[in-house]
Structure 1
């Protein structure tokens, strides 16, 4: 795992880059029941990339956020959200997984 800058007991949201995909997969794999229901199987790097890039049609990709959640330097979750969707004053949370 890559070393993170952190502030004690503060949650940090970090954009998911290609070098962090395995860290995301580790978190996905701790939520086996969710993926049995939602995907009928096990998550993979390909399914992470699909989640990271999934967007409703016609929206600005700059509003899409797919981030690792860390606390005290440890990755503990994933959040995927879209700002200003479905309307200007709303944040749509598409995925929220905690290890």
Structure 2
């Protein structure tokens, strides 16, 4: 079977030879290859046009980051460290309807930071990165209670500085709110970040008192004011206790 053969190659590269990153490419229109590589844990990094020697189709470059048996720590963020209660994985196109449903349970957020979300805007959220960062630095994550999407986190590794993680969005499904779950999850996320990261930064809409109260509760301190899409945003930061 192709999946068993590919897994054997990955085991050789990632475990026996102690590589930390494996990159592969597949023709974008080849859904069988896409499903096989996704099953093996690969994540989308970028899309590019092939050279004339390749098929006249765009290639999707994908990557998987792992830790070898030697115990040498990879530079990636280990998703299993981010929650003791929920399953954490990177979100894909297949999850967008559930993500949209979660967003729609939080209308107050979009009252302060329009426009309303759509499947098209979420598809952009999957790949949107700040200047100088790549998709390999982006962790657009879902926190799952079995088949239920509980929370969404958009985190950029190493932004705006190498020792900083940036939270672009954190949202909890409305049905799970009011129990202290959000702040508890933030604590676990921060505690689960690798030691090379020293602080976490984020921005919230200045006119949203609920957002301000939540992030202050989570230990974030005022840093500065800026405008994002003509909307006043408060930057806040928290140092990570080592």
- TM-score range (shorter-chain normalised) is 0.7 to 0.9
> Residues of 1 paired with 2:136 and 2:146: CA distance?
28
Give the CA deviation at 1:50.
2.0
1:36 aligns with 2:36: no
Unaligned runs of 5+ in 2: 1-83, 174-242
Unaligned runs of 5+ in 1: 1-8
CA-atom RMSD, angstroms?
Answer: 1.5
Cα deviation per residue 1:11-53 (whole Å; 9 max; x = unaligned)?
222211111110101101001111122114x211011112222
Query: What SS does structure 1 have at the residue aligned with 2:110?
Result: helix
Which structure would you say has the larger RCO, counting Cα contacts within 8 Å and 6 or more residues apart?
1
Query: What SS does structure 2 have at the residue aligned with 1:97?
Result: strand
1:15 aligns with 2:90: yes
Normalising by structure 2, we get a TM-score of 0.35
Is the CA contact 1:10–1:72 (under 8 Å) kept in the aligned structure 2?
A: no
> Residues of 2 paired with 1:46 and 1:16: CA distance?
15
> Residues of 1 paired with 2:165 and 2:132: CA distance?
16
Query: Which residue number in structure 1 is paired with residue 161 of structure 2?
Result: 87
> Residues of 2 paired with 1:66 and 1:37: CA distance?
22
Counterpart selection for 1:65 from 131, 139, 148: 139
Give the CA deviation at 1:73.
4.1
Is the CA contact 1:28–1:97 (under 8 Å) kept in the aligned structure 2?
A: yes
Query: Which residue number in structure 1 is paired with residue 170 of structure 2?
Result: 96
Equivalent pairs counted in the alignment come to 90
Query: Which residue number in structure 2 is paired with residue 52 of structure 1?
Result: 126
Give the CA deviation at 1:71.
2.7
Normalising by structure 1, we get a TM-score of 0.81
